[in-house]
Structure 1
Amino acid sequence: MTGMLQVVLHSVTTAAVHKRGGAMGGIFGAFSDVSFSDWIAANNGDPRSYRMAVDLFLRSCAGYCVATYVLGIGDRHNDNIMITKQGRYFHIDFGHFLGFMKYQFGVKREKTPFVFTPEMAHVFGGTGTPEFERFQTTCGNAFNVVRRHLHLLVSLFVLMIPAEMPELRHRDDVNYLVQVSTPEKTDEDAAISFNELIIQCMNNTFKRIDNTLHILKHR
């Protein structure tokens, strides 16, 4: 019956960015490719701060793509993801994890293994650019770092079973971590697989539809 609250100053939800950003702002702002890049530019006026913000967005985005994938974080709509004025991208509200995804009206809300949408890629130039390749490399490296510490991660989760969290009650629940970490693959193959997941997530439009419906419901 206790919890922890962290206040992150100078940050807004990505839903707020969607609603105010780009020519398609408002209800359909989630379909605007320039919503994130325009918001970062508006809060980082000089070229140096803008470059730093884009770099921070790229690295934090890569970290959270890997972290939410490995931990199986669910309920990833645009009110559960935030961004600071300096470009740091981060997730909040971790009520669903280890692959226990949220359903609404019998429909699974998560259609992709993690959130990576076109407006995120647009911040660092989109596919085919050196910065996008750097993002993919960063993701692959981060994924392999986690994989190398899989035994520690599993041990920590097993230690939490007595806490009786709704989605972590049995040792079998921890198997999710092992399955997604693909310990049987080489580092090179694991990085390639994660890069394929990035493209898969970016090409799936359901998250944008889900974000739009969330904006409509909570406007």
Structure 2
Amino acid sequence: YVIFKSGDDLRQDQLVLQILRVMDDLWREAGLDLCLLPYACISTGDEIGMIEVVGDSETLASIIYERHAKSRTKLGRKLNAAKDALVKDGEITQNFVRSCAGYCVATFVLGIGDRHNDNIMLQRSGKFFHIDFGHFLGNFKSKLGVKRERAPFVFTPSMLDAMGGKKSENYQQFQQLACEAFQVLRTNSNLLITLLVLAVTCGIPELHNVNCIQWVHKTLMLDLSDDEACEAFKKLIHVALHTTTTKLNDAVHLMAH
């Protein structure tokens, strides 16, 4: 199935999804399967295009929203319920852990903005993925001059709880996979930056000149050693977990929908 879009410029979404596919290829070549779901998207004309529908999936907002249930336990129950449909009990959790690691790294490096529960989805298989890439390269939304998004990426307490908490093997694996994935992108920084440079002439509003690409230079932390970059990314995970504005943004979207 596909969604026909009219009135939206899909060129930026198409570019981001193409880069996500490149990242996925780089990770797979390095022996990392991070269960990404870079769905198809094509801009066919002026503010016209098509987007692939990812089957058996729903937004985190629809999963979490339940008036008489705590959001943390709701996500965990959703993951547990999906296990019944899989042959291997641990497969759903592994898909969740791996995809969380992949998308945390990818959205951080690309500076994906406007993240909330309505554009983050979960497939029945446990794969977690992002949609709607209308803001990237650090172009985050603000209100009254204050940035609404202060977390480096979306990794919330409910996601941590779904993995089993900070002392769980799943969380340790998540951190390790994220560090390894981050290192692969750092090693291939020239390729990623070149892809963005080639897209500068496409007329994408948030990639209008080469200065926009400085964001990726910064997020890849190319001035740090491998060990220093790994430790820095682990600190970002801690920051993401304790960022109040992410919870407030989610609450606003849940009330609005």
**What residue number does 1:52 align with?**
91
Q: With structure 1 as the length reference, what TM-score do the two structures score?
A: 0.91
Is the alpha carbon distance of 1:22 and 1:148 closer, same or farther for their aligned partners in structure 2, counting shifts above 3 Å? farther
In 2: Cα distance, 1:22 partner to 1:98 partner: 38
Query: CA offsets per residue over residues 178-215 of structure 1, 9 Å max, x none?
Result: 01101111111111110110011101222112101111
Which structure: greater helix fraction? 1
Distance in 1 separating the partners of 2:236 and 2:248:
19
1:40 deviation in Å?
1.1
- Secondary structure in structure 2 of the residue aligned to 1:82: strand
Residue 179 (structure 1) aligned to one of 218, 222, 243: 218
Check whether the contact 1:158–1:174 (CA below 8 A) recurs between aligned residues: yes
State the distance in 1 between where 2:88 and 2:157 align: 23
Match of 2:57? Answer: 11
Larger deviation: 154-163 or 202-211?
Answer: 202-211
Q: Is contact 2:82–2:92 with CA below 8 Å preserved after alignment?
A: no
Paired residue for 2:126?
Answer: 87
Cα–Cα, structure 1 residues 21 and 51, in superposed 2: closer, same or farther, change >3 Å? farther
Query: For residues 152 and 73 of structure 1, what CA distance do their matches in structure 2 show?
Result: 19
Q: In the alignment, which residue of structure 2 is the partner of 1:215?
A: 254
Same amino acid, percent of matched pairs: 39
**Which has the larger strand fraction?**
2
Counterpart contact for 1:98–1:167, Cα < 8 Å: yes
For the 8 Å contact 1:21–1:39, the answer to whether it is kept is no
Residue range with higher mean Cα deviation, 34-43 or 82-91? 34-43
Count of matched residue positions in the alignment of Structure 1 and Structure 2: 211
Q: Give the superposition deviation at 1:107.
A: 3.5
Q: CA deviation at 1:45?
A: 2.2
2:249 maps to a residue whose letter is D
Decide whether aligned partners of structure 1 residues 105 and 39 sit closer, same or farther in structure 2, where only a CA change above 3 A counts: farther
1:120 — aligned with what? 159
In the TM superposition, 1:25-174 aligns within 5 A as 32-45=71-84, 49-174=88-213
Counterpart amino acid of 1:217? A
Per the TM alignment, residue 85 of structure 1 is displaced from its structure 2 partner at its CA by: 0.8
Partner of 2:237 in structure 1?
Answer: 198
Amino acid at match of 1:165: I
